[in-house]
A and B are shown apart, each in its own frame.
Chain A
Amino acid sequence: EVQLLESGGGLVQPGGSLRLSCAASGITFSSYAMSWVRQAPGKGLEWVSSISGSGGSTYDADSVKGRFTISRDNSKNTLYLQMNSLRAEDTAAYYCAKAYCSSTTCYYFDYWGQGTLVTVSS
């Protein structure tokens, strides 16, 4: 059974930093691209960042580019999101999601974690 378990959320002041983690089990973690998707309170879903299975390629939404860094440690089956220069508008539940991909491209998210809440407030 595939399980994705996020951690690391909490309350942080504007301008502060936080690192989220997502521990994966039930999959050969290094074989799969992974992503972070967030959801502000009462709002819809927003893609944040993606990383290839090897970790060699990363992609970010314009809203977080230069502030957030996605990474992974395949030896620990763990995905990370380093969030710097946090703003009030970054307040959201952050989900990690596994992408279903072929050898050349990805299509959709087939597994999601339960999310971790990040609140940016003074």
Chain B
Amino acid sequence: AQKVTQAQTEISVVEKEDVTLDCVYETRDTTYYLFWYKQPPSGELVFLIRRNSFDEQNEISGRYSWNFQKSTSSFNFTITASQVVDSAVYFCALSLVRTSYGKLTFGQGTILTVHP
């Protein structure tokens, strides 16, 4: 069975600080997708990034960056110069290529609070 672990339950930072959200996953499959979603207080999940298991290249999108390392089964997410609007719950998730694309295994989520 698949498992996604986000060890940090809650993180609190002051605006402009950099913050890294950790994600460790477990699967015996060799082909899979990894995701990060953001859930603001309004409730909807906002898609941030998808990575497939063959692509270990790190990605940067504005203040967001992701570090995918298969050797440690980690897919960490860094927010640079955090802002109050970044306050939300962030979920890391995994789906297998061989199963339904709709079946995501989510981590427990990390509550990020950015203080002014």
B is bound to A: no
Task: Give me the interface of A with B, judged by CB distance under 8 Å.
Answer: none
